[in-house]
Amino acid sequence: MTPFAFWYEGDPDGGCIRFLTETESERLMGLPEGWTKYGADGEEIRPLQRYKALGNAIALPCADYIMAGIYEVLADRAGKED
C-alpha cells in the first residue's frame, strides 16, 4: 500500500503526496463505495464534482454521534419533566 505522503530523512525534496481517490474519500465520509459515482439521472459524475460533493458534506459517523448526543439530552430532559 502506498502511503499518503512521505519524506526521506534529510531530503525534503525526495517525498511525494498522493491524493485520495473518490472511493477513499467516500469511505472517510462513512458512505458506501460508489455513493457519488452516479447522479439522479443515472449518468456518471465527473471526479471533480464528486470531490466537491464530498467536500461539502458532513461525515455520517460525525452526524450520527452529534444526533445521538442531542437525543440523549432531550430524552433526559423529557424524563425529568414527568
Q: What is the pLDDT of residues 45-73, one digit of tens each?
A: 999 999 999 999 999 999 999 999 999 99
Residue 11 pLDDT:
72
CB-CB contact of 31 with 60 (8 Å): yes
Interior CA angle at 80 toward 74 and 82, to 5°?
110
Q: Give the residue carrying C-alpha cell 459524475.
A: 45
Predicted TM-score (pTM) of this structure: 0.68
CB-CB contact of 32 with 3 (8 Å): no
Q: What would you measure as the largest C-alpha separation in the chain, in angstroms?
A: 67
Residue 1 pLDDT:
47
Question: Which amino acid is present at 37?
Answer: K
